[in-house]
Chain A
Amino acid sequence: MTDGGGDLLRKALTKAIDELDGSARLIVVEVAADGMTTFTLHRDDAGTPRGHHGPVTPWNIAGEQEWEGTADDASGKEAIVRASGIRSHASVILICSFPDGLQASRAMEWLREARPDAPHFTKAHVPVPALLREILADEPLKRSYDLVVLKRDAVSGRLELATQPLFAIGARRGQPVRVRVRCEPGDDRGTAFAVASWQNIQPSLLSVQSAVLSPGRHEFWATLERPGVVRFSGLPALVPDDRRWEDLVASVPATLDPQIGPAHLICAVEVSGSSDLVDERLRRVRQVVTTCAGALPDRLHVSLLAYGTHGFGRGEREEPVEVRVWHVSPKTALDSLSGLELRGARPEGYPYAVQIEDALHEVHGRLGAGTGDRVVLLTVGGRPPHPPRAEARILPCPHRHDWEDLLHRLRRRADLTLGAICDEPEERATPVWRTLGEGARAHLEVVDIRRLCSDLGLVASAAQRIPFPLYDP
């Protein structure tokens, strides 16, 4: 093979690289006009072919003068062969890209003599570095590439490291694939997108990049740039993550709170009273919905009920409980809440009780048999409900709704949790409000929203950080 077309050279290089295995090396020596360059190629732990080259060895290392005249060929040859590094077990390919040069031709001869087994090619001006880069990049994958994800056991909530396939063996660069995952809040580095290659059962890490993402479902593209390099597009601000793999893996909690599945948050808020008080109640509802929406992205539905006082007095109109929205996205619910905020408080009205029993009636009627999602009924107000019959000083509900019976029925549902934000502090709350806040209760003025939501099972407790994306079937 004293001569050969570019195709032959490419084929030979491709084949030799393809055959690289384990710790084997391929040495490619380019003999050019001004000197000689040695390229060393190997596969790394992940099976990715890698190449690097040393400095150009200028021809004068063999001694300029001697080359011109009756040179001492032996010492010149020795210098060149040693510098080329071909005296090893590695496979070798020799390329002469400047056949017209005297020094180049001479060097080529010496090298061929040193490794007569090595295929050699002569092709003027062939850009060897670019050619190698191209061949490396074009190589089909020898191992599959996967994204590291966490799988959550539906029953126990236990988290397990798993992978989601990105590119199969044989895949070539260029073709993007669509990926869908779910993210939970991570630590301050965010969620780590780690790509691993698999050989048998041994994974090895190709790359880790992190981004702080809003919790929830994310869809993006993964593109194989070349073996060993996967580029993600559609994820904001990915930065290389230099955390040790062991540390990352160690930071995966054992379980992801099994209760944090899809949930239906029903907020019933008292809108009668002083505007300061009502504003505060609505603000709390907003905080709760926002917090839970952040923690349960795509998995939260919200309903919003506004209740107030019955109209008992002369000339007072009975305003029924208003179901503002039912089972809608948090965003729609927040829009509806804005409407309430704009409208402001309804008058103080009947001082001793409010339409809670009517609100319970609505909720009970609308919930029906249940959808399997968890339901949280959060009541935000101060006054107790009306009894179904005249009792002490509180007038009965005009519709004779029985809050006790309704609450009893709601509490019998396995899927329902009761929460309350009460105007009154704990010690002054009436028994009704204790029941309404059975699952979690807070005082309007000093609500720790995160804690309340976590007590209601709507957000993970603060310590729970999930470093990897979750598998999202």
Chain B
Amino acid sequence: MSDEGSGRDHTDIAMWGAPGSGKTTLLAALSIALSRRPQQDWRIVGGDAPSTDFLIQNTLALSGVGEFPEATKDRNRYRWTLLGPPAGKNGRRRGKPAQVTATRININLMDPPGGSFGDSHHLSTADKSELISSLEKSKGIIFLFDPIREFEKGDAFNYLFAPLSQLASQMLASSDKYPDGKLPHHLAICITKFDELRVLQTASELTLLTTDPDDVHQFPRVPQDDAAQLLQELCSISATGNADIMLNTLTHFFHEDRIKYYVTSSIGFYLDPMRKVFDMADPVNLVPHAPLSSPSAAEPMPSRIRGQVHPINVVEPVLWLGQQVLNEHANGSPAG
């Protein structure tokens, strides 16, 4: 950070998601995804020792052994900085290459242990204050929606959207910082685990799948504009099925044009090492893996990653948010 004094608490992007929604994995994959970019323009670095350790260990585990990060046990706060290509004021170069400094985007991850939000969809007081402070401090929020949790528990959507909306309305009511009646944040809503068969199939049934002609592996994608439709469909499968209402509610508190939807996968689809082309008949990149310690048959078996990790839409939401934050810095408009 250039301004060292206030830098420690300065957050550009906050990340939220239910336990097990894939927050930690997304971050581990972010580092892989960045290094896979042909431009090699962005890097991620830890803001302190534990955060650096986290990155190194989880990235290695994910791409090397094929292991997912362990469920977060403690109330962790990780701080990372994305270092990108230098940008001049207002995005214009001044022709002084010697002076360039890297563009920085700070990511602050609140990584609460699974289940700390309780099972009644109500946040604990501590979590509420944490969430409020994160909303107040950050300019962009990455929100993870776990479709698998939605399939299995039917509450992934409600899990955080409901408290988030509640908090937003409280903030709007109690403060006059928001004259236009909306929170100024940019919101990247990420549907995670796109690689899971049920998610892929839902997208396929809705004919939302496309491929990037430049992608040699021909991995399927859901275009940005169709992501919200997939989200609605995924939510309508759940018992509660009030996703459209919730999505409308969200636009009461945030600017509609500051919300973007992404269909993401941290690990990506399986790629046969011989064929090297995506095969719709065999897309799943997970393989069940029995831990040696607990041979209990009752628990669903944990998974390992089957092949290479090919993250999908992991960098995009982060960079989009980062870009928005940078723009605001550049424009000098106060974010909150």
Hey, which bits of chain A sit against chain B, CB under 8 A? 312-314, 348, 350-352, 388-393, 395-396, 398, 400
Contact = CB atoms under 8 A, between A and B. Distances in A.
Contacts of A391: 197
A390 B65 contact: no
Contact of B287 (A313, A348, A388): A313
A395 B65 CA distance: 20
Contacts of A352: 288
B128 interface: no
By CB atoms of chain B within 10 A, which of A312, A391, A392, A396 has the most? A312
B282 A396 contact: yes
Interface of B: 65-66, 197, 280-284, 287-290, 301, 304-307
B309 to A, nearest CB: 11
A392 B286 CA distance: 13
Contact of B281 (A312, A390, A393): A390
B290 A351 contact: yes
Where chain B touches its partner, the secondary structure class is: loop
Contacts of B288: 350-352
Nearest to B201: A390
Nearest to B274: A398
Given A313-B304, A314-B306, A351-B301, A389 B282 contact: yes
Contact of B289 (A313, A392, A400): A313
A390 B283 CA distance: 7
A398 B287 CA distance: 13
Nearest to B64: A314
B281 A395 contact: no
* Top 10 A-B pairs, shortest CB-CB distance: A389-B281, A312-B287, A396-B282, A313-B287, A314-B66, A351-B288, A390-B284, A390-B197, A396-B281, A390-B282
A400 B281 CA distance: 8
A389 B279 CA distance: 10
A392 B197 contact: yes
A344 to B, nearest CB: 19
A314 B65 contact: yes
B306 A312 contact: yes
Contacts, number: 40
Contacts of B304: 313-314
Contacts of B305: 314
Nearest to B65: A314
B144 to A, nearest CB: 22
Contact of A350 (B66, B197, B284, B287): B287
A398 B65 CA distance: 22
A313 B280 CA distance: 19
7 contacts: A313-B66, A313-B304, A313-B306, A389-B280, A389-B281, A396-B281, A396-B282
Contacts of B306: 312-314, 395
Nearest to A397: B282
Nearest to B307: A314
A423 to B, nearest CB: 13
A395 B305 CA distance: 13
Nearest to A391: B197
A314 B286 CA distance: 11
Contacts of A312: 287, 306
Contacts of B66: 313-314
A389 B280 CA distance: 8
A255 B306 CA distance: 59
A395 B301 contact: no
B331 to A, nearest CB: 47
Given A313-B304, A351-B301, A390-B281, 12 more contacts: A313-B287, A313-B289, A313-B306, A314-B304, A350-B287, A351-B288, A389-B280, A389-B282, A392-B197, A396-B281, A396-B282, A400-B281
Contacts of A348: 290
Contacts of B284: 390, 395
A395 B288 CA distance: 10
A467 to B, nearest CB: 53
Contacts of A393: 197
Contacts of A314: 65-66, 304-307
A223 B282 CA distance: 73
A392 B280 CA distance: 14
Contacts of B282: 389-390, 395-396, 398
B43 to A, nearest CB: 27
A395 B279 CA distance: 12
Contacts of A313: 66, 287, 289, 304, 306
